[in-house]
Structure 1
Amino acid sequence: MPPSKAVQALHILLSRPKGRLLGGFRSRLLLGLSSVVVLTALLVGVLGFLQFQSTLSQEAWQDLISATNIVEQALLITPEQVLLNPDRLPRLAELGNSRFRVIRTEQVFLEIGGRYPTQSTGWIKTERPLEYGFVLQAALETHSQSEALRTFWQTELLALPISLLLALVVAYLLFGYLMHPVRHLTEATHAIAQQRFPKPIPVPPGQDELSDLAESFNRMTQAVEGFLERERNFSRYASHELRTPLATLRAQIEALEQGLLTPQESLPAIKRSLERLEHLLAALLALTRIPHKNPEPVEVGAVLHAVVQNLLLKEQQRITLKGNLGAQVLGYEELLQQALSNLVNNALKFSQGQVEVEVRQGAVIQIHIRDRGPGVPEKDIPRLGTPFLRVQPKVDGMGLGLALVRHIASVMGGELEFSNRPGGGLEAILSLPSLEVSHA
């Protein structure tokens, strides 16, 4: 996607009100956490209630069976009647809320613990056959179990709003934690939508999605800024420099149309203007493009020899190569050759004597190009490499060569510096990361 369209897409994405964007996310986060808490509390409450109910029911049946065994052992049974042996039932309190009776053919012979209940609600009942046709009936009141279940359910219902409130507080704090980097991201994207490039946003601690998002956004910001800067450079440089050859072409064509010049007189000027346009567009494209392949090891000496071989024989004789020519950098051979070619040609153009090229290897690779020309005024040295800057207008050129070298140095992670030599002449120093440092 072109950089201008990418910025437009960001602008459309962020055209909604900021409060609505964050407010909607906040609402969804709170609603989601609240729903999870409510559903979890209800599920835990229902499961806990069922488990508690089953436990109470089992305990109640165990109590009833145990009390029934105690009463059965305390009975004295004869064919005519059933009596209770007090010695075998020392404490009636052990029977709790149990009721017992002994019957035979609907006739009640004995009741223990109080009147035996006739209703089924609130009681659990069991029967056990005895000798001579007697039947022992037992009942246990479940009112205490019902109260325990009711208390349990009330506690669960009371815990539900407390859990919900706690969830809302946690969601609010979590929202603030999550939104802190997102707010930085939102502000930065708003700035990019207005073609203002902020400083890199802080990367949250931890190797998670938020830190990955912040790092990706910072890389995207640098890429978009580079695209836009190259687009601005191309537009600015092209509009600035294309006027002269285009004006010359227009003047020659108008002279031909009006019969002021013959084709033989106009064609050389038109040809020169077209050649200038071709060279200018090639330089502009090189200045604004970036390489699309991965950097590779490049031997500086081999590139320098290729640059020298492309020169005229008399110019080759003026070049002296020395130093560590086997030094290697990690970069792009075509770009490095273009940069060194511009620097060498520039030295040859502004000097009539020898041009010395020395390669020094240290923490970085330094390529020194020294000429014996008049040098440059000290006030103009910091401006060298500015597009269309021509310190000596009488010398033919477009003022883009050093700008292209500076751009290539930046692409390859290096820098370009200039200084006047004490004995006369200008020294250009192209510094590039060495292959060993790049691998470290």
Structure 2
Amino acid sequence: MIWQTKKLGEVLEKIVGGGTPSKNNPAYWGGDIPWASVKDIKENESILEQTQDFITEAGLKNSSANLVPAGTLIIPTRMGLGRVVRTKIDTSINQDLKALFPKKELDTDYLLLFLKSKAEEIAEKGSGATVSGIRLEHLKEIEIPLPPIDEQRKIVKMLNEKMGKIGEAKRLRAEALTDTEKILPQTLHEIFEEGKKNGWEEKTISNVCIVQSGGTPSKTIPEYWDSNDIPWLRSESCRDKKVESAQLFISKKGFENSSAKLLKPRTTLIALVGATIGKTGFTTFESTTNQNIAGLYPLDELVLLPEYLFIVAQNLYLKFTNLGSGKFKMANLAFVKSLPILIPPLAEQQKIVAELDALSEKVRTLRDLQTTQLADLKSLEKAYLREAFQSEDVIE
């Protein structure tokens, strides 16, 4: 039997929007009413159990925020397009979210899964120069297959069983990936703890390294940027691995008329600010950096190997992330120079570098495998959803 289709707007009783109480009135915020925004609607989740923000009764009454009951479907119509959740709590919503109330002929969980199957299509319908949004009329025009309500519930049951198995497999793969990412930091920690016991010499970075920062040529002078003369790196290059290429370049004039410094190949980079603070990189070519990176190179390679310096720098990450109490963190060159590092004999450094290189390759292979498996599971999940709502006979 071929299912009939209807436009989404025809099978919804109503669509309810929301709003934001004035941020200038403290009496509207910090109450006990959950207030949902796009940041609460997670990409790979179907349930909303809590919100980051709360408003008061006064905030609710004096704004266009609306309170929707537990069990309601909520979708973003501005940013986060294609996501959908069913709320387990009574919650108010802001203007970037819409609450969907289906008619009796449409099962709520069936609609949830259908919208998930249409996530990419909904995202593609988004428009906007800076922030993507979908117009309600476009949302209402989406066609939904509409079998009898009992059939809808059978489809939901079948899909939930399949999605539950995939979800568990995804969880296990994600956990394995997280554990994989811990292998190198744990190994580094063990190496340096053992080094302390063995009496390795400790010196501050300033005593064994050249430490320098970079600079940014003026962006208002095109000739400083119109050539591929000199690679110029930003803190995005610091990802605890070798830096194999540059995205940006400056001209010789740009270099000469800025505080950028020319760094040797095999220089260790450390990001000094923001989300990447404490992250490292290891250059494989001559380069310059902006002012948000510190470049470290040994004063004497017979005392300190550049490759070992890169390894030991990765063990300093927590020193940077523990700086200050605010969200935005910043380090300066004086802080970097003051940090102590353990320096074993050169032969021990060479051994550590060889062992870590071999381990890094194994970790990289394992990470790639797990990432591929996780991507395959996500693709399978999408395929099940597409098949369920495209076929006229999906019940097994």
TM-score range (shorter-chain normalised) is: under 0.3
TM-score relative to the length of structure 2: 0.21
Structure with greater contact order relative to length (CA < 8 Å, sep ≥ 6): 2
Relative to its length, the structure with more strand (as a share) is: 2
TM-score relative to the length of structure 1: 0.19
